[in-house]
Chain A
Amino acid sequence: GAVVSQHPSRVICKSGTSVKIECRSLDFQATTMFWYRQFPKKSLMLMATSNEGSKATYEQGVEKDKFLINHASLTLSTLTVTSAHPEDSSFYICSATLTGEGYTFGSGTRLTVV
């Protein structure tokens, strides 16, 4: 089945720094990827939809200048958390969809901002 690889799995950064999270579709081309954020004991909240070769579509309330999404190729989407603050600490998960395979999730990135 479709596999989505996400890195890093865990990152700790200092407040004010930026962190990049990568999401790769293995063995298939993902024209669309989705980025979610999950706080403890909460459900997944969609942050943005990433389309290859075009600007991402952000959900209401998500700062596009803070959460930079780049989908430069059909197999790679990146999320950069800029000027991270402790309130950005969360579990970030990417997802890609392939027709007939449903939605596949990356393994997630646990971001801790100290």
Chain B
Amino acid sequence: QKEVEQNSGPLSVPEGAIASLNCTYSDRGSQSFFWYRQYSGKSPELIMSIYSNGDKEDGRFTAQLNKASQYVSLLIRDSQPSDSATYLCAVNIQGGNTPLVFGKGTRLSVIA
């Protein structure tokens, strides 16, 4: 069974600190990887996508992918209270226009 695993949290970090969110996936052939942020009662919002090994940075966010370890992470620098949300890791396992498989999400709480 194709699985995407995340620690459900909650993960609490002080304002200004680095938040580190982790995700592992079971299918070694997975093609592309996404991090979404979801506020309570709202739809997921795309934060980052990553397709190849290494780091990808966008503002305060850095996604890291290690296909050999089947591991993808999201770092949030200078965390703000507005970053408090649930972060969903999603994987496109089969490629093309196939659906994403989601992890259960990690709830992040940034304490002011």
Using A43-B105, A44-B102 as known contacts, say yes or no to A104 and B46 having CB atoms under 8 A apart: yes
Chain B residue nearest in CB terms to A4: B43
Q: Mark B27-58, 1 if CB is under 8 A from A, else 0.
A: 00000001010000111111001000000000
Chain B: residues with Cβ within 8 Å of the partner, total of 21
Whole-angstrom CA separation of A57 from B59 in the bound complex: 38
Which single member of A49, A93, A103, A110 contacts B34 (CB below 8 Å)? A103
Q: Which residues of B contact A43 (CB under 8 A)?
A: 88, 102-105
Q: Which residues of B lie under 8 Å from residue A49 when comparing CB positions?
A: 98-99
**Chain A interface: which size bin?**
20 to 34
Report B-chain residues with C-beta under 8 Å of the C-beta of A91.
Answer: 41
Asked whether B69 is an interface residue with its Cβ less than 8 Å from the other chain, the reply is no
Contact partners of B101 in chain A: CB under 8 A? 46
Write the residues of chain B forming the contact surface with A, with a CB cutoff of 8 angstroms.
34, 36, 41-46, 49, 88, 90, 92, 97-105
Closest 10 CB pairs of A and B: A32-B97, A108-B43, A43-B104, A105-B43, A34-B99, A44-B102, A43-B102, A107-B43, A102-B49, A46-B99
